[in-house]
Chains A and B, each alone.
Chain A
Amino acid sequence: MRTLRTNTYVAALVISLLLFGTGMLAGLFIANQLTDSLAKEITEVRTRTTEIELLFLLDADSSSCAAYGPQLELFDNQTAEIDRRVDILSSTRGATDPDVLTLKREFTIMQLRDYLFTQKINQKCNQSVDTLLYFYGNNCAECDQQGSVGPELKRDHPQLRIYAFDADLSSPAVTAIMQQYGVKSYPTIVVNGLKLEGYKSKQELEAVLAKS
């Protein structure tokens, strides 16, 4: 009669459960650490913006204008990296993952503040830093194509400040700025306050930038 090695099967089950459990726990721990570190970076950038804003408020006679530039540039680099990571996170965990949604909203708010602040500095310090707002949504065929134009433009015009907003995020702040510019379809781009609807190539956008 043939036999069944029950003992070995049970021992293997216990050991593999232990291994699996350890692997899962360690994996979850590392994954959380990574999300935490991303959240921490966002907080850090937020603190920095608040600092610049304070500087702005304290500074009545625009003597700090020289200090804003480098600060904003630093901010720009950090947000680009965060944007990239949020992007990767959303593509693997799914756009509806609660962690991803929170990070995305925080990031959007941060961008919006930065945009408003850049405008104020433009006024106060008499400078003209170019800004580009890009509104996109899900189920938008041209958005994939349009999305790849942004990084190309940024590469050739490092001074240009680009802000991308996901209209489907249903963030009140995004809704408000969309109303301000009357954004109804995607993709829509606002270059230095001028609204452009539909897909715009890099060359078209450069032409608009040159004129404004």
Chain B
Amino acid sequence: MNATALFEYGLAFLTLYVSVFFILLLLENRHVLKHNPKPSRYPTISIIIPAYNEENSIAATIESVLAAEYPNKKQVIVINDGSTDSTLAKARAFAKRGVLVLNQPNAGKGAALNHGLRHAKGELVATLDSDSFIERNSLVKLVGFFEDPTVGAVTSVMKVHEPRNTLQRLQRVEYLITVFNRRVLSFINSINVTPGPLSVFRKSVFDKVGGYDEHNILEDQEMALRIQAADYRIESSMEGVVYTKTPRTLRELVRQRVRWHRGGVRNLLKHYYLINPRYGDFGTVIMPLGILSMLAIFVVIAISALALLHRQPGLLEYGLSNFIYTFSPMHLLGVMIFLGTLAWTYVGIKSIDSETVNPLEILAYVVIYAPLITLFWLVTAFKEAKREKLRW
């Protein structure tokens, strides 16, 4: 067995192992999977909306917050981060309806969030992106988790706002399965991101871990890592929904994901100390797994590139008969993992009550996203090699 084969079988085993672990985790927690605690009281809440050049959506975003039911005080803060369009004027129109509108020269999302935090009066703080919209019951569904005093933050159900083209419909599937995966990760308190579109925090958490990192291009993930480091629980709701706008073209999507990956790598390096058994499952398994899977992607890309370069002429033309005649145990393991991924995605999305998804869409998602992820990482590596400037 050569080195390549050894790596491939090793990776297949690791994938199988991780999959089985998560299946067991899901089975052990199946009774609390859909548990969404009802609050016995409603703490005061501040909703912080940082906005940069969002004149087309900011009004609808604010409207959705004002329309949201909440049986206690609800403070709405919009921070205009030096927009060059009419965002500020659009936001100021809501001042007479009690919205606090702050203005600052352009300083980035992290700075805008911190600006809002300084004015937040609520016991809880929700951060909401200015291109995202919440449902009437979203806030009510999210605050119940804070009855547990160890909970520092709660993540929401992120959905794609009005998916129109194929790429957005694929992202819709991705977002939904991510919600489910995050819920499963919450069972071992290993959520590593409190997404910007909508997350709720206990205000005292910021007093303890500090405000947002103002120079970070993935500040919502960086915050979650610090909350983990402070040993809070990060919970995940499968009912409190936020709709967010997503990239329409492949170009925009690649741009977004490359930002996530480049920011993600930096955050891993910044908080490498979390790889420590002291942080339980998160430090022992989930953090190292994140790094391992990142490295694995590049080794897989290298192996595939070598195989393509050295391929014998005529090999690809054989197609299916090639698969049959050259059958090796790897094929069977591959089929096993592929079917497992399909099943997991199907079951996961089905468990989100408010959504239905066509099995064909799931198949398309699993098949199309694998090469897409490769593309994201290749562009990421390329930009890193070029030392291209990081931009939000």
Q: Do A and B form a real pair?
A: yes
Residues in A lying within 8 Å of B, measured CB to CB: 2-5, 8-9, 11-13, 15-16, 19-20, 23-28, 30-31, 34, 38, 84-85, 87-93, 144, 147-148
B358 beta carbon closer than 8 Å to chain A: no
CB interface residues, B 266-296, toward A, < 8 Å? 277-285
- Per the bound structure, the CA–CA distance linking A30 and B328 in Å amounts to 8
**4 A-B pairs closest in CB distance:** A27-B329, A2-B280, A12-B21, A91-B312
**How far apart sit A3 and B189, CA to CA, in the bound complex (Å)?**
9
Chain B hits for A28, CB < 8 A:
329
Chain A contacts for B329, CB-based, 8 A: 23-28, 31
Contacts of A2 in B (CB 8 A): 189, 231, 278-283
Contact A19 B20 (CB under 8 A): yes
Chain A residues with CB under 8 A of B314: 87, 148
How distant is A157 from chain B, measured CB to nearest CB, in Å? 20
Q: Which one of B17, B279, B285, B333 lies within 8 Å of A27 (CB-CB)?
A: B333
Whole-angstrom distance between the Cβ of B334 and the nearest chain A Cβ: 10
> Within 8 Å of chain A (Cβ to Cβ): is B330?
yes
Residues of B within 8 A of A9 (CB): 21, 285
Q: A11–B24 contact, CB under 8 A?
A: yes
Q: A2-B278, A31-B327 are in contact. List 19 more A-B contacts (CB 8 A).
A: A2-B282, A4-B277, A8-B24, A9-B21, A11-B24, A12-B24, A15-B20, A16-B19, A23-B332, A25-B329, A28-B329, A34-B324, A34-B325, A34-B327, A88-B318, A88-B322, A88-B325, A92-B315, A147-B313
Majority SS at the chain A contact face? helix
A85, B325: Cβ atoms closer than 8 Å: yes
> Can you show 24 pairs from A to B with CB atoms below 8 A apart?
A2-B279, A4-B280, A5-B281, A8-B24, A8-B25, A8-B28, A9-B21, A12-B20, A15-B24, A16-B16, A16-B17, A19-B16, A20-B16, A24-B329, A24-B333, A27-B333, A30-B327, A31-B328, A34-B324, A34-B325, A88-B325, A91-B311, A91-B326, A147-B313
The residues of B with any CB-CB pair to A shorter than 8 Å are: 12-13, 16-17, 19-21, 24-25, 28, 188-189, 231, 277-285, 311-315, 318, 321-322, 324-333, 336
Separation of A127 and B281 alpha carbons in the complex (Å): 80
Q: Decide: A16 and B331 in contact? CB cutoff 8 A.
A: no
**CB-nearest residue of chain A to B25:** A8
Contact of A88 with B327 at beta-carbon distance under 8 Å, contacts A2-B231, A19-B20, A27-B332 already known? no
Query: Residues of B contacting A144 with CB < 8 Å?
Result: 313
Closest A residue, CB atoms, query B278: A2
> Whole-angstrom distance from the CB of B321 to the nearest CB of chain A?
7
A89 and B20 within 8 A (CB): no
Residues in B whose Cβ lies below 8 Å from that of A13: 17
- The minimal Cβ–Cβ distance linking B17 to chain A, given in whole angstroms, is 4
Please state if B313 and A148 are interface contacts (CB–CB under 8 Å). Answer: yes
Contact with B321, one of A3, A5, A88 (Cβ below 8 angstroms): A88
Asked if residues B332 and A30 are in contact (CB atoms below 8 Å), the reply is yes
Contact of A92 with B326 at beta-carbon distance under 8 Å, contacts A5-B188, A8-B25, A20-B13 already known: yes
CB contacts (< 8 Å) of B315 on chain A: these are 88, 91-92
**Complex Cα spacing A27 to B280, Å:** 37
Name the residue of chain B whose CB is nearest to the CB of A88: B325
The closest CB in chain A to the CB of B322 belongs to: A88
B16's nearest neighbour on chain A, judged by CB, is A16
Least Cβ distance of A211 to chain B in Å? 30
Complex CA gap A28/B19 in Å reads 23
Known contacts A23-B333, A27-B331, A16 near B20 by CB under 8 Å: yes
Within 8 Å CB of A38, what residues of B?
325
- List the B side residues contacting A34 at CB < 8 Å: 324-325, 327
B279 touches A93 (CB 8 A): no
Residue of chain A at shortest CB distance from B279: A2
**B326 and A12 contact, CB distance less than 8 A:** no
Chain A residues contacting B20 (CB-CB under 8 Å) are 12, 15-16, 19
Residues of A within 8 A of B331 (CB): 27
What is the minimal beta-carbon distance from B336 to any residue of chain A, in angstroms?
A: 6
Q: Name the A residues within 8 Å of B25 (CB-CB).
A: 5, 8
A150 to chain B, nearest CB (A): 11
Instruction: Report whether A8 and B21 are in contact in the complex, using a CB–CB cutoff of 8 Å.
Output: yes
Contacts of A31 in B (CB 8 A): 327-329
Complex Cα distance, B313 from A147, in Å, reads 10
**Looking at B321, B322, B327, B333, which has the most chain A CB atoms within 10 Å of its CB?**
B327
Chain A residues within an 8 Å CB radius of B312: 87, 90-91
> Closest Cβ of chain B: how far from A107's Cβ, in Å?
14
Give the CA-CA distance A28 to B1 in the complex, in Å: 14
Chain A neighbourhood of B313, CB < 8 A: 144, 147-148
B163 to chain A, nearest CB (A): 35
Measured in the bound complex, the distance between the Cα atoms of B217 and A35 in whole Å is 54
Tell which of A4, A5, A27, A85 touches B330, judged by Cβ atoms closer than 8 Å: A27
The answer to whether B333 and A20 have CB atoms under 8 Å apart is yes
Q: List residues of chain B with CB within 8 A of the CB of A24.
A: 329, 333
Residues in B whose Cβ lies below 8 Å from that of A4: 277, 280-281, 284
In Å, the complex CA distance between A84 and B315 comes to: 10
| Cβ-closest chain B residue relative to A19 | B16
How far is B330's CA from A26's CA once the two chains are assembled, in angstroms? 11
Nearest residue (CB) in B for A34 is B327
Whether B17 contacts A12 by the Cβ 8 Å rule is yes
Q: Please give, as numbers and ranges, the residues of chain A lying within 8 Å of B13 by CB-CB distance.
A: 16, 20
Q: Specify which chain A residues have a CB less than 8 angstroms from the CB of B321 in the assembled complex.
A: 88
Q: In the complex, what residue of chain B is closest to A84 when comparing beta carbons?
A: B318
- Give the docked Cα–Cα distance between A24 and B12 (Å): 11
